[in-house]
Structure 1
Amino acid sequence: MIEMNVQGITLDPMTNMPIVVLKGKETGHVLPIWIGVFEANAIAMQLEGITRPRPMTHDLLNSVINSLNGNVEYIYIHDLRDNTYYAEITIRTKDAHIKIDSRPSDAINIALRSGAPIFVSEEVLEKSQIEESDTDSKEEDLKDWLESIKPEDFGRQSSI
């Protein structure tokens, strides 16, 4: 498992769809995950420290976990099948470890709100890499663009 941080939210220059970009905490791994607009907005608001007067869904879920004396231990993006990422949220209670199936965008939102670490399996990182021999020019351009992203590129414009 590789620990990752949320680098930020950006838009795919070709489709204008949001991408959450994860970067290895101690490695150079970069994992872009295309997500929905609402999930991207929730991540961007959390990254920018914007609070709402009423709890959003991810805030509510975090409050429920805490109210039940649970603690989000970590989230784990563990599989990539048919261009779909799979994640789980691990919650520790007094008596058990509970693993809950989740979309990566929801798991990331929960991790950001709870302060839990984000892990990605090495297999997912390998599967997500664009193979040189299989790329067309658009995929190669996207790969180059993703590799060239710098932290300052995310700035305050990450809200969607």
Structure 2
Amino acid sequence: MPVVVLSFEERCDVLPIFIAFEEAMSIARGLDAEDLGRPLTHDLLLDVMEELGGRVDNVVVSDVDEGTYLADLVIATPRGEATLDARPSDSLALVARTNVPLAVAPHVYEYGRRDPEEFEDLDDIREVTHT
């Protein structure tokens, strides 16, 4: 199962978020700014937001419920700010495309933090998907 390992400069530990392969591929494509000619779901979502005058402002991994992480997708719209409940994997795919700030609530970080050495031998999804 793919994992996104979040690390922060001020911390010596990391926060792993396990995600589905499809979302991992979307995140990798977003990080690489890969253009496939036709929009994928996350690209389409950003296009729709832009067409309606909105944009992603930031993402917060805001809570954990029975081991499942929850995220808030904060959207700036012509009517003001809107916060949408979102899966962290979808939110990370949007962060990869927009470079908006990503935050993790302190209690979520404390719940899931791990030693980075546990993840040293992982393959980079970009390397796996381009072979």
TM-score > 0.5 by shorter chain: yes
Instruction: Determine if contact 2:6/2:14 at 8 Å carries over to the other structure.
Output: yes
Question: Structure 2 matches for 1:1-160, cutoff 5 A?
Answer: 17-129=1-113, 144-146=117-119, 148=120, 154=124, 156-159=126-129
* CA RMSD, Structure 1 to Structure 2 (Å): 2.3
Give TM-score, length-normalised by structure 2.
0.86
SS in 1 for 2:79: coil
* Structure 1 stretches lacking a partner, 5+ long: 1-16, 131-141
Larger Rg: 1
1:78-117 deviations in Å (ceiling 9; x for gaps): 0112110000100012321100110000011112212211
Structure 2 gap ranges (5+): none
How does the TM-score come out when normalised to structure 1? 0.72
Identity %: 35
Given that 2:16 and 2:113 are in contact with CA atoms closer than 8 Å, whether structure 1 keeps it comes out as no
Counterpart secondary structure, 1:50: coil
Letter of the 2:97 counterpart: R
